[in-house]
Amino acid sequence: MAIGGFNGSDPSPTLAQFQRYVADGKIHYFIGSGLGRSNGGSDAAQQIATWVAENFTATTVGGTTLYDLS
């Protein structure tokens, strides 16, 4: 799932929707590298990235930040 749509500027899914997907076991991993408003991301994408970083442990794989949400 592309957070924020193709280029990151679409406010979909919202943080609440994303949290529900995680709680329902529909999303297992989150790639955190390159997200944020400085890269053209939406407020929703930034909120999701912040929530994930605050609630899950980051792992670096080949220079990419990855979160296991399961």
Residue 5, domain member (yes or no): no
Q: Is a pLDDT exceeding 60 seen at residue 36? A: no
Quick one: CA dihedral 7, 9, 14, 19, positive or negative?
Answer: positive
Q: State how far Cα 59 lies from the chain centre.
A: 14
The answer to whether residue 23 sits within a structural domain is yes
The number of domains in the chain is 1
Confidence of residue 35 (pLDDT cuts 50, 70, 90): low
C-alpha 43/C-alpha 9 separation (Å) is: 8
Please state the rounded mean pLDDT for residues 12-31.
95
pLDDT for the residue numbered 12 = 84
Q: What is the pLDDT of residues 53-66, one digit of tens each?
A: 999 999 999 999 99
16/25 Cα distance (integer angstroms): 14
| Domain annotation covers residue 19 | yes
Residue 37 has pLDDT above 60, yes or no: no
User: Could you give the CA distance from residue 54 to residue 7 in angstroms, rounded to a whole number?
Assistant: 24
Asked whether residue 7 is assigned to any structural domain, the reply reads no
Give the model's pLDDT for residue 60: 94
Integer CA distances (angstroms), 52 to 1, 11, 24, in order: 15, 17, 15
